Amino acid sequence: MENTIFIFGCGHSGNTIINKILSNHKNIYGVDYETEIFFKRSNMILTFLNDFNKKRKYFNKKWFCEKTPKHVHHINKLYLFTKNPKIIIMIRDGRDVVASLNKRYNDFNKSVSRWIDNNNEWLKNIHKEDFHILKYEDFISNPELELKKICNYIGEEYDENMLNYKKESIQLSFDINKIEKIDCKNHNELRKYQVNQSLYDGTKRYLKDLTKEQLDILYSNTEFMKLMNLFGYKI
């Protein structure tokens, strides 16, 4: 299958909102859920891809766009079923990602491990020079500029309508400021709520969501600090 765009990286790095915004481009058909295509058997992968390709053509779009953060573990498999895929890797300050994941898992160590493992997974891939790397912070600072870079990467003209993505009125069934752990049901509800809001600056959330002790643990973690330095995040 050709003309494919895949967005992934560690979860809670901005994958969902980027997918929604790109899907508003006049030439892009976006899937609004995590398909986990490449976790499936070969015959099911082909079925899914063929189905999405039909929908792309039906809506007269050139590109098919999908985001499943966990696909970072199946990059080589992705290349077996697609030709010249456009892959957008989302990265974000590890402290903010850990803070967000910890809110979801209520497990600090699991949150740290996921950020490290997910990023190391794509960094070691033989195709990494073909990826487009997008920093969450750069996007929040100048969304139009970063979207123009993505359009240039996939070979499309910039479509200013991308930032005019449709927003629905979503009422949460819980108080985000009081809930201690985000379970699967609440996570899906919160994600739907967040991507239907105007862009907001979620940087430096770690300052209120992580304790000094937790930050000290991060700063003493060699693998964590190696990635932070590689990505240009200053402590």
235 lies in a domain? no
202 lies in a domain? yes
**Neighbour-count burial for 157-178, b at 16+ CB within 10 Å, e otherwise:** eebeebeebeeeeeeeeeeeee
What CATH number is attached to the domain comprising 11? 3.40.50.300
Number of domains the chain is built from: 1
The helix (run of H) or strand (run of E) holding residue 8 is strand 4-9
What is the domain range of residue 31?
4-230
What tokens does 64 get?
Answer: 């098919």
28 lies in a domain? yes
- 196/17 Cα distance (integer angstroms): 9
What tokens does 146 get?
Answer: 């970063």
- Give the predicted TM-score (pTM) of the model: 0.87
- 204/206 Cα distance (integer angstroms): 5
Identity of the residue numbered 223? E
**Neighbour-count burial for 20-41, b at 16+ CB within 10 Å, e otherwise:** bbbbebebbbbbeebbebbeee
- Alpha-carbon torsion (194, 195, 198, 199), positive or negative: positive
139 lies in a domain? yes
86 lies in a domain? yes
**Counting Cβ atoms within 10 Å, is residue 80 exposed (0-12), middle (13-18) or buried (19+)?**
exposed
What is the pLDDT tens value at each position of the chain, 235 positions in all? 899 999 999 999 999 999 999 999 999 999 989 999 999 999 999 999 999 999 999 999 999 999 999 999 999 999 999 999 999 999 999 999 999 999 999 999 999 999 999 999 999 999 999 999 999 999 999 999 999 999 999 999 999 999 987 654 334 344 545 445 555 555 455 455 555 556 778 899 999 999 999 999 999 999 999 999 999 999 8
